[in-house]
């Protein structure tokens, strides 16, 4: 019973916001706190100035079908009340007597949200000024589907009025209910409650909420009992709404709304003035190009549509925007995931920061064990923690270079380089000197202190070219092979390493050997082999031929004499590094990004050092773990024992480690439950076991959430002059499109400019469809490569929608 | 009404844990859920095997003074029941009728915790096997002092049995109560509830808690009403405790306890095998030297006392250990701070990760505004976000070097260095190449690729030497001045820059000018001046003479011709950088670490670039902000516009930004409320306005939570042969002790070894006092420098306790 996805097809994903319409959602600290009484007062007070006021109670509890709306209509007067949308469905709390027991169909969460959005749109279009949406029961009472309400309504993320509890135990409920809302990203703007009864909960709560959160608590006396008669009730509501005090409350609610709108409108200019943006080619960005993210949920940002703030179009000013780069490749379990949110809070509450320097805490140790266990790589025994992928790679390099230097007796006078693949980018951002480990790539422009130190090999990479899965050979290999490309019937065939042509492997090995010998003959010294297994990410989103990487690791391990002469006795067991320590950079492509726990598992080789980050913390905050073999770990005798005398202040911060544990657990559970089986089995990636048995396809080695036939179709599209598809591939949650961008058409000065243009073109295309498109898609291009990255929770239906949009864009 | 400190003097700080005694705390989802009924059943079931069972209800609600204990005693039988410790105090919820209204004294939280610890210790010493501690009302019901119970009892962090609510609204309460406990770091091990009534809350909750959290929900029928007579009740309890099912519950509770103990015992060996520790001179550490941190609260870790796990001493196996390095200088608002915990959860719930690449979110923008506003430096206009202090500094260097290169027309062929202070360490850990910006320091051992690139000046530093505040001059300055030292009447006098001797300033300036000219004559090119204002942290915890740093910045700005010739017209307003961009590294010493929002404010000069991290996020996770002047910000025309094409994946992660906002807000509020006035006014740092008016001291420019007289006293201590004090100083929350460590006594090979030995010596001294010492102190030494760093919330009384211990150690 993880929260049901509120994102099922084909509903929109938007939060609800209009400048002209003030919407609040009313949550109760528990059942029976007078929610409908307060709704009535709020409605009546709001209606005093002849403004259009709407009231909506989408779900009713069993005994009160339609009655709340009738009550409000009766006592508030002049208020448009919408009867419950799902009167036939009851809270799960009452389900013994309710819908489920009687066998009625339970509406999915997305349908409920869709109806609420529709109702709100109607209010906006009919000149509504206020809309109060009342929930039922307590904040965590289950809605019709069983999803608890705080989770259920979260995609709308409406500002909240919390009705406090005036009864015994009510202080506790009210605070806990507030905390439950807060940890899900709700803004509680006001607490309302009765001051009646012998308890004076409001006194405590007024001070509590104001001093901690600057949230006002407002009270009113209990209404007369219904038995006192209608007149008394009418009088109660009349007085309540006529008081200056409640008019003030209304004004406060009004101001909160206006402030929010004003802030959203001013954010682009403020940001332009105050922020120095990263990853930006030209500074400062134009305010109109900035994406203002009001919140995010699931795969979608809620971004502002600036052009609508002062328009007469009554579309909401928030546009759901699919996070097509998985927030820089970090998101896997959705934005605003309440399970991860609570996990972060738990570790913050239990520890705060505890340094790992000479100390150990459970989340850090457990994460080390979980990663070591999950990777199933018998070489890896130890974890070193650092702050992000970049530092994780630096740690790996230090480990490797120190171990190689020790074994091969190199000293400070020796100039140690690394061996790697051409054009790769191992994630370092600001670290000038460290970028020595990569050659010049697209991110290196005028960076002082960057001196590449390494030998970078060319390599064959795989993509679907005009409908055909193809390995594209670099000139050096092509010459040896007498061909520019190799063709395959499927991507499965590419990855079925045991069935691959032995002759091809020999040529790969000959090339690698040649390069290693060349390095040796030039007297160059290498401290590590570093590769991103399978997919080169920021270096251009290239799918490397796994046979080549397999051969590369193999050759490095068999070519010890190319690297140095070990005079020492060193333990030479099956799990010790040989030749060079092999580093796998899985920062981007590990942890289910490509469909498996590790990218290394596709290659069938075990690295000596493995680096993990990004998806590790489910997209909350930075953390990296570098896992190492015992054979690179320094012991007392080694001079290298100062290799990692450094560390980060927040090394192995418990909050990050605990969230990582939760994040990994959730993804492993998804795998165990077969939640990606649709992609694995029904998405065209399966292959026939043999010619005679096409009915029973074998489980594919590789699969993607992106449809295999779609990828093939896309690779053939060359109809749009500015966007000619060169090739495409997909694996796991990644879809890559290598394009030919006509610079004369895009008017961009270079490939980074081209990327920016490409993003804009696509964005425009997606939005351009207007009302027809349920949501926008936000992408980040790299040069002439456009990619889309789903999260690990993106549904089949959402993928289909994006594919449909891409078909429109490219087929034009 | 921030939570009352549960750490008032002189009580211990420990969580409660004995291997032999199984303690659970019983929390209720709300009032009236049958807590005492379940306590009775738990006690009776536990007592079945003739084990000693204790029951404690420390605080009673008004109407039930002592009655819960009497009830349990009556129906559980054979159970040792402690009557309420504070029967006369009632929950705040009832305070209208309770203690406060009647004018009785409210016991402070620490006293209550102290009594509970004492009671538990008694149980352990009397062979107790089980102890159930029952709370009152709901988890967030206020305790006697008004602190809500979940916060109040948090220092004990007992494993929890949550009593669920079977009544209407109960699903919501139970989940919210669970979430409130969880976000405070509690482990809820079991949910118990009635299955009676027409609602079937347990069905929903059983599935909910198990599928999400693997927490079992166990039920039992409602007891007969009291009116049914005593026999019926006795029979109910007899049956309930005799069932196999409840025996299973007991076994589960038993297993949870055993697992926790087993894990704690095995953690050192497991950690030794699985973790590669940072900051460690020798690897691997000995398991017995590892500090196992079970949890942390306020300023204290709860660490294990391995020697007691199998002993017959009935002290608890957790030892409160003062976090004397403020967890690597990151903690300011206490570990396990529930306000920060909820802030983290809120931002995770609202956003997850949202990249700042071309996008903006409120926490990021607001944090930029808040820092820019708080610093009050008119030069700074813009914020760049990165992952930690190290990357923050790298960003600063890139900004500065690019701006200088642009103005002075340097290209790729030019070798750009930095200007800085000798022996400083600007926080870079793994970044090999970046460390070029620091010269060789204590952290540089055998690090490949480290080539320092800079000119580092010597400088005078200030410390209290044998009772006298003294500036220690480096040889170069001493020669010019004809003296080795300068003496001052107080630290205030050192910082009163306007009153400082003009002659001294002239000599400082002459020295600086000489160094700059030398650099110029050698044709060296500098891209930045980088300094840590006032205090050099990891470089040796040195207090630099502020007059020197003031003169340095001044001279650099007046010596443009030493650095290059600008052929361009550049805007030359009062806020533009001159000479070199000046970078202040405030990663360690900013944000109230030294008592003020910024360390720069002590110097009276405004840097062009300022870097902030560590305390920024209140000790939860890494985040850094580099603030820059508009004059270093590249515009379209400048070639330097690719300076920061890089960025971190988690750049400006919303969770970090939001927690930073909350953390800054809390510290600013403390300052406004005068919460450090005791340190400012009563701690000996005040100075007489003049000789004639000693009664009315002026507000000191500098102050510390460490007592001024104590610092002076400490500087004179040379009684212990292995620990001769050379000098001491204190500022804000930092106390530094520069020692002479006799290597022959400590048997350490070098200064890092010396530091480790020093830490061990002190630790041993603190623990050595045994029962007399309420808690241990964990410190990290650097070479021959020992420092203690309080948090911003450490109380005067705790400081006094640590000072007392230090007096014992050094006066021996």
Q: What is the pLDDT of residues A438-470, one digit of tens each?
A: 444 444 434 444 455 788 899 999 999 999 999
Least confident of A72-81, A332-341, A572-581: A72-81
Tell me which residue has tokens 């305070």: B95
* Mean pLDDT score, B51-67: 76
Q: Which of B137, B434, B640 sits opposite A434 (nearest CB)?
A: B434
Calpha distance B712→B704 (Å, rounded): 13
- pLDDT, tens digit (0-9, with 9 covering 90-100), for B485-503: 999 999 999 999 999 999 9
Is the pLDDT at B451 greater than 90? The verdict is: no
Calpha distance B534→A657 (Å, rounded): 34
pLDDT band at B703 (very low <50, low <70, confident <90, very high): very high
Q: What was the pLDDT predicted at B279?
A: 75
Q: What was the pLDDT predicted at A451?
A: 52
Q: Are residues A644 and B388, on separate chains, in Cβ contact within 8 Å?
A: no
Which residues of chain B does A148 touch, with a Cβ-Cβ cutoff of 8 Å?
Answer: 171-172, 175
CATH top-level class for A687-811? alpha beta
Distances (CA, A) of A461 to A483, A603, A786, B407: 14, 14, 17, 43
Q: What was the pLDDT predicted at B284?
A: 60
Q: What was the pLDDT predicted at A204?
A: 92
Which residues of chain A does B363 touch, with a Cβ-Cβ cutoff of 8 Å?
Answer: none
Q: Are residues A168 and B31, on separate chains, in Cβ contact within 8 Å?
A: yes
Q: What percent of chain B has pLDDT over 90?
A: 56
Q: What was the pLDDT predicted at A439?
A: 46
Q: Where in chain A is the domain with CATH 3.40.50.300?
A: 22-262
Mutate to test the interface with B, among A59, A259, A448, A655 (most CBs of B within 10 A): A448
Q: Which of B349, B364, B384 sits opposite A183 (nearest CB)?
A: B349
Which residues of chain A does B360 touch, with a Cβ-Cβ cutoff of 8 Å?
Answer: 267-268, 271, 275, 290-293
* Mean pLDDT score, A84-113: 54
DSSP string, A455-503: EEE---EEEEETTEEEEEPPHHHHHHHT-SEEEES-HHHHH-GGGS-HH
pLDDT band at B12 (very low <50, low <70, confident <90, very high): low
Residue A224 near residue A231, CB atoms below 8 Å: no
Minimal Cα–Cα distance from A398 to chain B, Å? 8
Q: Which of B138, B142, B416 sits opposite A173 (nearest CB)?
A: B138
Q: What was the pLDDT predicted at A7?
A: 40
Q: Where in chain B is the domain with CATH 3.90.1150?
A: 687-811
Domain B381-646: which topology? Answer: 3.40.640
Minimal Cα–Cα distance from A245 to chain B, Å? 25
Say how many CB pairs under 8 Å bridge A and B: 642
Mean per-residue pLDDT of chain A = 85
pLDDT band at B60 (very low <50, low <70, confident <90, very high): confident
Mutate to test the interface with A, among B101, B174, B181, B355 (most CBs of A within 10 A): B355
Is the pLDDT at A431 greater than 70? The verdict is: no
Q: Where in chain B is the domain with CATH 3.40.640.10?
A: 381-646
Calpha distance B157→B294 (Å, rounded): 10
Is the pLDDT at B790 greater than 90? The verdict is: yes
Minimal CA–CA distance to A473: which of A422, A412, A415, A404? Answer: A422
More confident residue, B277 or A102: B277
Query: B203 to chain A: nearest residue by CA?
Result: A93
* Mean pLDDT score, A32-40: 93
Distances (CA, A) of A601 to A509, A597, A616, A730, A748: 21, 8, 18, 17, 40
* Mean pLDDT score, B736-745: 76
Q: Are residues A345 and B350, on separate chains, in Cβ contact within 8 Å?
A: no
Which residues of chain B does A179 touch, with a Cβ-Cβ cutoff of 8 Å?
Answer: 140, 176, 179-180, 183, 342
Minimal Cα–Cα distance from B292 to chain A, Å? 5
Calpha distance B143→B32 (Å, rounded): 16
pLDDT band at B70 (very low <50, low <70, confident <90, very high): confident
CA angle in degrees (0–180, nearest 5) for A468-A469-A470: 105
Q: What percent of chain B has pLDDT over 70?
A: 82
Q: Which is it for the CA torsion A291, A294, A300, A304, positive or negative?
A: negative
Q: What was the pLDDT predicted at A3?
A: 41
Q: What was the pLDDT predicted at B150?
A: 97
Is the pLDDT at B104 greater than 60? The verdict is: no
CA angle in degrees (0–180, nearest 5) for A86-A89-A94: 140
More confident residue, A235 or A59: A235
Q: What was the pLDDT predicted at B435?
A: 41
Is the pLDDT at A601 greater than 90? The verdict is: yes
Q: Are residues B349 and A336, on separate chains, in Cβ contact within 8 Å?
A: yes
* Mean pLDDT score, B662-688: 93
* Mean pLDDT score, A372-378: 96
Q: What was the pLDDT predicted at B498?
A: 94
Minimal Cα–Cα distance from A163 to chain B, Å? 14
Q: What was the pLDDT predicted at B755?
A: 59
Q: What was the pLDDT predicted at B629?
A: 95
Distances (CA, A) of B549 to A26, B227, B535, B585: 57, 81, 11, 13
- pLDDT, tens digit (0-9, with 9 covering 90-100), for B28-46: 999 889 999 999 999 999 9
Calpha distance B121→B127 (Å, rounded): 10
Q: Are residues A336 and B330, on separate chains, in Cβ contact within 8 Å?
A: no
Q: Are residues A613 and B137, on separate chains, in Cβ contact within 8 Å?
A: no
Give yes or no for a cis peptide into A10 (omega within 30° of 0): yes
Is the pLDDT at B778 greater than 80? The verdict is: yes
Least confident of A217-231, B365-379, B635-649: B635-649
Distances (CA, A) of A435 to A447, B377, B693: 10, 33, 62
* Mean pLDDT score, A282-289: 69
Residue A386 near residue A622, CB atoms below 8 Å: no
Query: A273 to chain B: nearest residue by CA?
Result: B382
Q: What was the pLDDT predicted at B617?
A: 96
Is the pLDDT at A415 greater than 90? The verdict is: no
Is the pLDDT at A2 greater than 80? The verdict is: no
Minimal Cα–Cα distance from B768 to chain A, Å? 20
Q: Are residues B360 and A268, on separate chains, in Cβ contact within 8 Å?
A: yes
Q: What was the pLDDT predicted at A743?
A: 57
Is the pLDDT at B626 greater than 90? The verdict is: yes
Q: What was the pLDDT predicted at A757?
A: 62
pLDDT band at A102 (very low <50, low <70, confident <90, very high): very low
Q: Which of B94, B275, B359 sits opposite A382 (nearest CB)?
A: B275
Q: What was the pLDDT predicted at B156?
A: 95
Is the pLDDT at A361 greater than 80? The verdict is: yes
Mutate to test the interface with A, among B287, B650, B653, B751 (most CBs of A within 10 A): B650
Distances (CA, A) of A546 to A218, A701, B468, B725: 65, 12, 70, 62
Is the pLDDT at B438 greater than 60? The verdict is: no
Mean per-residue pLDDT of chain B = 85
Which residues of chain A does B1 touch, with a Cβ-Cβ cutoff of 8 Å?
Answer: 207-208, 211-212
Q: Are residues B169 and A32, on separate chains, in Cβ contact within 8 Å?
A: yes
Q: Are residues B204 and A93, on separate chains, in Cβ contact within 8 Å?
A: yes
Q: Which of B173, B395, B433 sits opposite A449 (nearest CB)?
A: B433
Is the pLDDT at B519 greater than 70? The verdict is: yes
* Mean pLDDT score, B695-722: 88
Minimal Cα–Cα distance from A499 to chain B, Å? 37
Which residues of chain A does B345 touch, with a Cβ-Cβ cutoff of 8 Å?
Answer: 182-183, 341-342, 344-345, 348
Calpha distance A706→A803 (Å, rounded): 8
Q: Are residues A621 and B621, on separate chains, in Cβ contact within 8 Å?
A: yes
Minimal Cα–Cα distance from A22 to chain B, Å? 20
Q: What was the pLDDT predicted at B172?
A: 95
- The strand pair at B454-457 and B318-323 is best described as unpaired
- The strand pair at A525-531 and B318-323 is best described as unpaired
Q: Are residues A183 and B179, on separate chains, in Cβ contact within 8 Å?
A: yes
Q: Which of A285, A293, A621 sits opposite B653 (nearest CB)?
A: A621
CATH top-level class for A22-262? alpha beta
Q: Which of A28, A295, A357 sits opposite B350 (nearest CB)?
A: A295
Helices assigned H by DSSP within B102-159: 109-125, 149-152
Q: Are residues B353 and A620, on separate chains, in Cβ contact within 8 Å?
A: yes
Is the pLDDT at B520 greater than 90? The verdict is: yes
Least confident of A534-548, A626-640, B292-306: A626-640
Is the pLDDT at A771 greater than 80? The verdict is: no
Query: A648 to chain B: nearest residue by CA?
Result: B429
Minimal CA–CA distance to A57: which of A65, A45, A49? Answer: A65
Is the pLDDT at A689 greater than 80? The verdict is: no
Calpha distance A712→A728 (Å, rounded): 7
pLDDT band at A434 (very low <50, low <70, confident <90, very high): very low
Mutate to test the interface with A, among B354, B440, B443, B644 (most CBs of A within 10 A): B354
* Mean pLDDT score, B632-638: 67
Question: How many helices and strands (H and E) does chain B possess?
Answer: 24, 28
Q: What was the pLDDT predicted at A363?
A: 97
Top mean-pLDDT range of A384-398, A405-419, A651-665: A651-665
Minimal Cα–Cα distance from B343 to chain A, Å? 8
Query: B149 to chain A: nearest residue by CA?
Result: A172
pLDDT band at A157 (very low <50, low <70, confident <90, very high): very high
Is the pLDDT at B430 greater than 60? The verdict is: no
* Mean pLDDT score, A103-109: 69
Q: What was the pLDDT predicted at B635?
A: 65
């Amino acid at each position: 019973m993880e929260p049901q996805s509120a994102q099922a097809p084909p509903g929109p994903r938007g939060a609800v916001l209009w400048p002209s319409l003030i919407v609040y959602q009313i949550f109760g600290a528990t059942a029976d706190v007078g929610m409908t009484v307060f709704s009535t007062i709020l409605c009546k007070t709001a209606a005093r100035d002849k403004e259009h006021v709407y009231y909506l109670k989408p779900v009713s509890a069993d005994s009160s079908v339609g009655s709340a709306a009738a009550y409000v209509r009766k006592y508030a007067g002049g208020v448009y009340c919408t009867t419950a949308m799902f009167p036939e469905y009851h809270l799960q709390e009452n389900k013994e007597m309710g819908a489920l027991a009687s066998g009625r169909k339970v509406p999915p969460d997305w349908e409920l949200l869709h109806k609420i959005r529709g109702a709100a749109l109607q209010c906006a279009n009919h000149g509504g000024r206020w809309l109060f949406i009342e929930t039922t029961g307590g904040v965590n009472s289950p809605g019709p589907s069983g999803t608890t309400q705080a989770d259920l309504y979260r995609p709308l993320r409406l500002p909240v009025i919390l009705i406090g509890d005036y009864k015994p135990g009510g202080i506790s409920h009210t605070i806990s209910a507030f905390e439950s809302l807060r940890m899900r990203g709700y803004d509680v703007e006001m607490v309302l409650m009765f001051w009646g009864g012998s308890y004076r909960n409001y006194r405590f709560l007024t001070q509590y909420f104001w001093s901690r959160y600057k949230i006002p608590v407002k009270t009113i006396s209990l209404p007369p009992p219904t038995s006192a008669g209608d007149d008394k009730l009418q009088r109660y509501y009349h007085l309540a709404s006529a008081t200056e005090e409640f008019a003030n409350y209304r004004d406060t609610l009004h101001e909160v709304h206006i402030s929010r709108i004003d802030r959203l409108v001013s954010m682009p200019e403020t940001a332009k003035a105050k922020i120095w943006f990263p990853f930006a080619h030209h500074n400062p960005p134009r305010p109109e190009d900035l994406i203002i993210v009001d919140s995010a949920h699931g795969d979608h940002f809620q971004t502002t549509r600036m052009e609508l703030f002062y328009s007469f179009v009554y579309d909401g000013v928030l546009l759901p925007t699919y996070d097509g780069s998985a927030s820089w490749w970090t998101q896997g379990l959705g934005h605003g995931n309440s399970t991860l949110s609570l996990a972060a809070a738990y570790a913050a509450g239990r520890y705060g920061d505890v340094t790992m320097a000479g100390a150990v805490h459970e989340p850090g140790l457990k994460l080390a064990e979980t990663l070591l266990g999950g990777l199933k790589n018998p070489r890896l025994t130890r974890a070193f923690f650092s702050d992000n992928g970049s530092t994780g790679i630096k740690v790996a390099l230090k480990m490797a270079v120190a171990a190689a230097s020790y074994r091969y007796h190199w000293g400070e006078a020796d100039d140690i380089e690394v061996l790697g693949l051409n054009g790769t980018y191992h994630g370092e951002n600001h670290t000038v000197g460290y970028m020595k480990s990569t050659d010049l790539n697209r991110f290196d422009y005028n960076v002082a202190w960057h001196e590449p130190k390494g030998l970078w090999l060319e390599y064959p990479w795989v993509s679907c070219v005009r409908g055909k899965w193809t390995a594209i050979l670099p000139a050096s290999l092509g010459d040896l092979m007498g061909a520019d490309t190799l063709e395959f019937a499927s991507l499965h065939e590419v990855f079925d390493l045991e069935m691959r042509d032995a002759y091809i492997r020999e040529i790969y090995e000959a090339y690698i050997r040649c390069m290693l010998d060349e390095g040796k003959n030039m007297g160059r010294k290498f401290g590590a082999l570093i590769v991103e297994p399978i997919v080169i990410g920021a270096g251009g989103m290239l799918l490397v031929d796994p046979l080549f990487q397999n051969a590369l690791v193999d050759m490095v391990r068999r070519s010890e004499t190319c690297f140095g002469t070990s005079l020492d006795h060193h333990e030479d067991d099956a799990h010790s590094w040989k030749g060079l320590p092999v580093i796998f950079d899985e920062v981007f492509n590990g942890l289910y990004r490509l469909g498996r726990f590790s990218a290394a598992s596709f290659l069938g080789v075990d690295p000596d050092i493995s680096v993990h980050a990004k998806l590790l913390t489910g997209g909350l905050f930075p953390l990296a773990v570098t896992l190492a073999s015992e054979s690179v770990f320094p012991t007392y005798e080694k001079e290298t024992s100062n290799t990692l005398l450094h560390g980060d202040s927040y090394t192995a911060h418990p909050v990050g480690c605990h969230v990582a544990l939760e994040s990994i657990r959730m993804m492993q559970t998804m795998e165990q439950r077969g939640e990606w089986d649709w992609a694995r089995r029904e998405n065209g990636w399966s292959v026939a076991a043999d010619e005679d048995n096409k009915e029973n396809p074998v489980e594919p080695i590789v699969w993607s959430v992106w449809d295999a036939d779609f990828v093939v179709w896309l690779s053939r599209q060359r109809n749009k002059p500015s966007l000619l598809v060169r090739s495409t591939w997909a694996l796991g949650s990644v879809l890559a499109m290598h394009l030919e961008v006509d610079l004369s058409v895009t008017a961009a000065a270079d490939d980074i400019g081209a990327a920016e243009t490409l993003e804009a073109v696509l964005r425009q295309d997606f939005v351009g469809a207007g009302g027809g498109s349920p949501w926008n898609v936000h992408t980040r291009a790299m040069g002439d490569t456009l990619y889309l990255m789903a999260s690990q929770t993106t549904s089949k239906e959402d993928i289909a929608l994006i594919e449909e949009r891409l078909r429109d864009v490219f087929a034009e």
